[in-house]
C-alpha cells in the first residue's frame, strides 16, 4: 500500500512539501513494528482508532490496562473489543473496509526531555474475531481485533500537551470483578432495551 495518494501529492506539490514528505518517510516509516515502537505501544492505556466505510467515518477512543494492545509479531497487532454502546461504528466500518489508522500518544512527557516517542501512527488492515486464541487472556473482552500492519511511523510531537493521568477508568474490565454500570445504560429508554 502506498503511503501517499494523488490528493496528498497534489497538496505536497501545491505547498512545496513533496521533498520533505518523501525524506521524512525515507527516514522514519517502516512496514513493521520495531522493538522500540512495541515497547511504546504496549506501555499505553489508550489509543485512537480511525475507520471509514463509504460516507461513515469514525474515530474512537480505545482504552484498557497498559499492555491491552499487544504487538504479537512485527507485522501484527491485537487489541480487545470491550462492551460498548452497541452501535458497532468501528467494527461495522472494519467489516466494510478493513483499512484502519491507530494513533498512539503519550501525554505525560515533553518533547526533548528524554521522551523517545510521544506520538506513533500505525496503518493496516483489520479483522474482527469472535473467536481468537487471545480472547480468554483479556477479562471482559467480547472479541479481538487483529491489525495486519502496513505502515508505522513516529509523528511530530510538537503540539502534544504535557498531561498526567490521575487514575485509570473504573470501567476497565478486571478479572474476577463486575464492571460498574455506565450512566448511559441507566437512561430509561435505553435501560429498557438492555
| Domains recognised in the chain with CATH numbers | 1-28 (no CATH), 31-191 (2.30.110.10)
Tens digit of each residue's pLDDT, the chain (194 residues): 678 999 999 999 999 999 988 888 888 889 999 999 999 999 999 999 999 999 999 999 999 999 999 999 999 999 999 988 889 999 999 999 999 999 999 886 666 655 556 889 999 999 999 999 999 999 999 999 999 999 998 887 777 877 887 888 888 888 888 877 777 677 777 777 77
Q: Which residues contact 18 (CB under 8 A, 6 or more apart)?
A: 9, 12
The number of C-alpha atoms within 13 Å of 154 and in the hemisphere containing its C-beta is 17
Q: What are phi and psi of 127, to 5 degrees?
A: -135, 150
Q: Could you tell me the pTM of the whole model? A: 0.88
What is the rounded CA–CA span in Å between residue 89 and residue 104?
Answer: 20
- Specify whether the CB–CB gap between 32 and 74 falls below 8 A: yes
Amino acid at each position: 500500500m502506498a503511503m501517499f495518494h494523488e490528493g496528498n501529492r497534489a497538496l505536497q506539490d501545491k505547498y512545496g512539501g513533496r521533498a520533505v514528505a518523501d525524506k521524512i518517510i525515507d527516514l522514519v516509516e517502516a512496514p513493521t513494528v520495531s522493538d522500540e515502537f512495541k515497547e511504546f505501544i504496549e506501555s499505553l492505556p489508550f489509543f485512537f482508532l480511525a475507520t471509514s466505510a463509504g460516507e461513515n467515518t469514525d474515530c474512537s477512543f480505545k482504552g484498557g490496562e497498559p499492555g491491552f494492545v499487544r504487538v504479537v509479531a512485527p507485522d501484527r497487532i491485537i487489541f480487545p473489543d470491550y462492551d460498548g454502546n452497541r452501535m458497532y461504528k468501528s467494527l461495522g466500518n472494519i467489516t466494510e473496509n478493513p483499512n484502519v489508522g491507530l494513533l498512539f500518544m503519550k501525554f505525560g512527557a515533553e518533547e526533548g526531555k528524554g521522551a523517545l516517542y510521544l506520538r506513533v501512527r500505525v496503518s493496516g488492515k483489520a479483522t474482527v474475531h469472535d473467536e481468537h486464541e487471545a480472547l480468554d487472556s483479556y477479562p471482559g473482552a467480547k472479541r479481538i481485533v487483529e491489525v495486519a500492519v502496513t505502515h508505522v511511523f513516529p509523528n511530530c510531537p510538537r503540539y502534544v500537551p504535557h498531561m498526567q493521568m490521575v487514575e485509570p477508568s473504573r470501567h476497565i474490565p478486571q478479572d474476577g470483578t463486575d464492571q460498574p454500570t455506565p450512566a448511559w445504560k441507566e437512561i430509561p429508554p435505553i435501560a429498557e432495551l438492555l
